[in-house]
Amino acid sequence: MAETNDITRLAEQMLRDYDAQAPGTLFADGLRLSVTEAYRLQTQVAQLRELRGEHVTGYKIGCVCQGNQDKNGLTHPVYGRLWSTEQHATDVTLDINAFANLAIEGEIAISLRHNVDPRQPSIQNIAEAVDEVFTVIELHNLVLHSDHPTGAELIANNAIHAGVVYSSGIRPPERSNRTTLSVFLDGHVAEHWIDRGWPDDVLVAVPWLVAELAKVGCQLKAGQKILTGAWGPPLPLKRTNLANTPILQSRKANPHKTPQSTEGTFVNSVKVESALFGSVAATFLSR
């Protein structure tokens, strides 16, 4: 394992790599960390970003589903920061070359109207703190250099988060409800989930996030946004010939099966649609 006592030096290199769209070269060079060390490194990079004028607008939860945890050698979710410089509204056009192996996830996000008490992190209490709900496209730099397990590298690289595109927000349902969620790549259904519940299924990992942040003296606060976690794996945008038949994924079905595709040109349009929370779209071009 590489030395980890010079956390500032490691963080400076991590940020330079991120800015150059070449994330994680330290891991390509052999750096290996524990999960605790990886979160220390993520936090140090965050401090550097804040020093240069960026600010944290909330958090993302990753590896909510078992398949994503298994792929990264984890037994729990992970979290990362959302950054003021990486927030986008629906119908945005983005340069695909501004990312490293761009991949997307469709999911649901929330914003908070008041702080969440870490002593009472129940799903119901969190739901009562929600101001608006969004359908989102989460952007990822899908680059991992480590051999399995890759969980620490994932965490150190801010859970490979590279931005988010939001739908228009709506007020949360006043009572329990059900929704579907569909991801379309160039008009073809790439993933589809059915029978997902508000608030239990959508917010299932947020109490975990509240507890983890409390360990390091942090708290979910009014005005922040939380990406609640994807129900399937990241979808790389370098893919073509997507199958036209959707894969229906209930809570009891395998949440990681996706239509087959062949590698080729980049996907240009992404749309994520929730029956309950609306839709969000983005266009990706090579400039």
**Residue 90 in 3-state DSSP?**
coil
pLDDT tens by residue, 77-114: 999 999 999 999 999 999 999 999 999 999 999 999 99
Supply the pLDDT for residue 2: 45
pLDDT tens, N- to C-terminus, the chain (287 residues) = 445 468 999 999 999 999 999 999 999 999 999 999 999 999 999 999 999 999 999 999 999 999 999 999 999 999 999 999 999 999 999 999 999 999 999 999 999 999 999 999 999 999 999 999 999 999 999 999 998 999 999 999 999 999 999 999 999 999 999 999 999 999 999 999 999 999 999 999 999 999 999 999 999 999 999 999 999 999 999 965 544 434 344 343 333 334 444 446 899 999 999 999 999 999 999 87
**Contacts (Cβ under 8 Å, ≥6 apart) of 229:** 61, 62, 63, 64, 65, 77, 107, 204, 205
Contact between 126 and 199 (Cβ < 8 Å): yes
CA distance 96 to 83: 19
> What does the block give as tokens for 28?
């390509």
Global model pTM greater than 0.95: no
Q: What is the pLDDT of residue 239?
A: 65
Give residue 260's pLDDT. Answer: 43
Per-residue exposure over 26-44, b if at least 16 CB sit within 10 Å of its own CB, e if not: bbeeebbbebebbbbbbeb
How many other CB atoms are there within 10 angstroms of residue 222's CB atom? Answer: 12
- What's the topology of domain 56-285? Fumarylacetoacetate hydrolase; domain 2 (3.90.850)
Q: According to the model, what pLDDT value does residue 255 have?
A: 38
In the chain, where the domains are located: 56-285
pLDDT score of 287: 75
Residue at 118: amino acid letter: P
